[in-house]
Amino acid sequence: MVFWGEVLDNSPLGLILTGMTRERLFQQDPMDWFRTGSKRYSPYHWNQMALQAGLAGVYLSEYGFHATDSVCIVGIGFGRDLIFVNDQLVHLGKVLPRVVGLDINLPRLVETKQKLKEEGITADLLVGSMNTIPVPADTFLATICLDTLVHADDLKQSLLELKRVTRPNGLIICNLPTSHTLPVDLLKSVIVEGLPRTMSLALERLISPNGFSARTTYYLPRQIDKVISSCDLEIVERKSFAYGMYTFLVIQK
């Protein structure tokens, strides 16, 4: 199994020690790391992620959209979140609007296109990051960014970019890993993600300043409120998942 490559620059520890940005790391990630994801996380973790993606579909349906509207999935990866969003809309009797899927890793998008085709889902796929989305301002009715802001180098910068591409009064649907102090976080992580991954994350956080992890930054609830407020955005819905490890947010521009 390949975890970030065998050279220091491609490892979580290497990211901490060399100062490499997460954006650069994800651009050159070994594909095997993503393909073996189900082996690194517990079934409960994946269930919680699926619930959040399905909930995004519910809010999208309730907000209402037309055939001419478009939605962006930022950090589409292999298309897992989009598939769950689509499943929820189908369950509600709705048809998926036009979708633009964005990911920082080009080789991954090649596989994503094939996987979505197998699921009968059409999406325009673009290469880009949550900091540089290559579309004009005010493009999307809704911008969905699940399991992606966790990797932001600068959360405010990323949120402002999501805001830029979202229409006035449109929705930003996202989630953020939430901290409740390190001991509590570790206990919850063992339950949700399993002991091996928890030990890896604990090492990263203990040896690095401010609880920094190569993959994830954890935010206190008050920090989440502060950064969203500083972007002049309004939280209209907030839910907790995975024993409070993730905060699901519906934000209006």
Domains of the chain are 8-252 (3.40.50.150)
Would you say how long the chain is, in residues? 253
Residues 6+ apart with CB under 8 A from 2: 30, 32, 33, 36
pLDDT band at residue 156 using 50, 70 and 90 as cut-offs: very high
* Inter-residue contact 14 to 25 (CB < 8 Å): no
**Closest Cα partner for 142 from 55, 227, 59, 246?**
59
Dump pLDDT digits (tens) for 89-131: 999 999 999 999 999 888 888 889 999 999 999 999 999 999 9
Dump pLDDT digits (tens) for 176-222: 988 887 788 778 878 877 787 778 767 766 665 544 455 667 788 99
How big, in percent rounded to 5, are the helix, strand and coil portions of the chain? 50, 20, 30
What's this model's pTM, rounded to 2 decimal places? 0.81
pLDDT band at residue 9 using 50, 70 and 90 as cut-offs: very low
